[in-house]
Structure formats: structure tokens, C-alpha cells
Amino acid sequence: MSSDDPTAFRYGPPGSDRQENRPPVAADSGIASAEAATAPDPSGDLLLRIAAGDRSAFDELFTTQSRILMAVILRIVKSRSLAEEVLQECFTEVWTRCSGFDPARGTGRAWLVTLCRRRAIDCVRSVQSQQDRDFADGLRTSAEAAEGVEQTVIDRAESDRTVSALKILPEEQSTPIVMAFYQGLTHAQISEDLKVPLGTIKSRIRDGMKKLRDELEASR
């Protein structure tokens, strides 16, 4: 490279006769990575201690990180009471499962934030699912109530038509039918009350019910 090269880098004390051309020295990315790897990670250190069963580390982690994590959760669930429940679940998981934290994959703070976000999203989905079930139950209950009202109207109409049809039957047939189906008496009890042989009672009820069905079918 000639001394007239405008891209040349000249090194040497100012005013010295000895100068030499050298290529630019790029920043050592390996040094930067090493510095990042050795950067302080207080949350990560606490998680490692908790994984070893250190209760004081758990208390310290809760004291230093709970407010920040609460804010992360609250932005997702939009309810302070739900956020408090989720935060409690997260720290329970920290105590029981923080062995899953790997310092080589990220900082302790990042691991905690990811955990809280996942738990918060699960909470929102669970709440939405419950609301959907409640809504469906409400619709079903309303439909059942409507069906009940409709059936009551039908039953009343049928009852009115049955009473009208009974009036056209001979009394010897309508009386045992009323006693059997409206008063709930047995054929034997009807026979005893009316002083009519049991076989006759059964025949009168059978014949009367046939006429009654024919009349109801005709009046539909």
C-alpha cells in the first residue's frame, strides 16, 4: 500500500519519523460475548440458590421482583385480584420448579417474566372459557324454562280438551276414568267405592278411554 493511499491508517507518535501502515482492527466480538456472559444476574443467582433449597433466596427474590412481575401480569389479565392469584402461582412454581432455569439460555429476570406471561395468558384463557360455559349454561337454562312454559300451556290445553271430551261420555264410563286418572285410585278401589264388579269397572274404563281417545283425535 503506498503512502498516498487515502485509506491507509498511520500509527506512531505524532511528529515521529517512524510510522507504519496497519489495517483497521475490528472490535473483538468474543470479548463482548464474554463480558455479557459474566454480567451480573442477581435474579439468576437467586434462582440457582432456590433450586438448592435456599429459603432466604426465595424471600429475597420475592421482595426484589414481585412488584415488577405483578405489573407484567396485570397488563395481561386486567384484574388486580386475578393478577395477585397468578403471581402467587408463579412464585409457587419458582419454588417447586426453578431447576428448569438455565443461566446459559438467558437471565433470571427474563425467565421469570416468561413464566409470568405464560401463567397470565393461561389465566385469561381459563376465565374466557368459564365465561363461555356460563353463557352456554344460561342459554340452555333459558331454553329449558321456555320449553317448560310451553309444555305447561300444552298440558293445560290438553286438560281442557280432556274435560270437554269426558262430558260426552256416559257417567258410568267417565266416573271410573276420573277416579283412576285424576284421583289415582286403583281399579279394585274404584270397584269397592262404586260397588261395581271389578271386571265391569275395567271394561267401562277400557271402553271409555277408547271413546275419549277418538274424541280427542277428532278435536285436534
Q: Is residue 143 part of a domain?
A: no
Q: Is residue 210 part of a domain?
A: yes
The count of structural domains within the chain is: 2
Among candidate residues 122, 106, 15, 101, the one with its CA nearest the CA of residue 58: 101
pLDDT in tens, the chain (220 residues): 444 444 343 333 444 444 445 445 444 444 444 444 556 899 999 999 999 999 999 999 999 999 999 999 999 998 898 899 999 999 999 999 888 899 999 999 999 999 999 999 998 888 877 766 665 665 565 455 445 544 544 354 456 667 676 777 888 888 888 888 777 788 888 888 889 888 888 888 888 888 877 776 776 6
Question: pTM (2 decimals)?
Answer: 0.46
Q: Is residue 157 part of a domain?
A: no
- Which CATH number fits the domain that encloses residue 179? 1.10.10.10
Give the Cα separation of 157 and 117 in Å (integer): 60
Tell how far CA 113 is from the center of its chain: 23
Q: Is residue 141 part of a domain?
A: no
Q: What 3-state DSSP class applies to 214?
A: helix
Give the Cα separation of 38 and 27 in Å (integer): 18
Taken in order 100, 102, 106, 112, is the CA torsion positive or negative?
Answer: positive
**By CB neighbour count within 10 A (0-12 exposed, 13-18 middle, 19+ buried), where does 84 fall?**
middle
Terminal C-alpha separation, the chain = 113
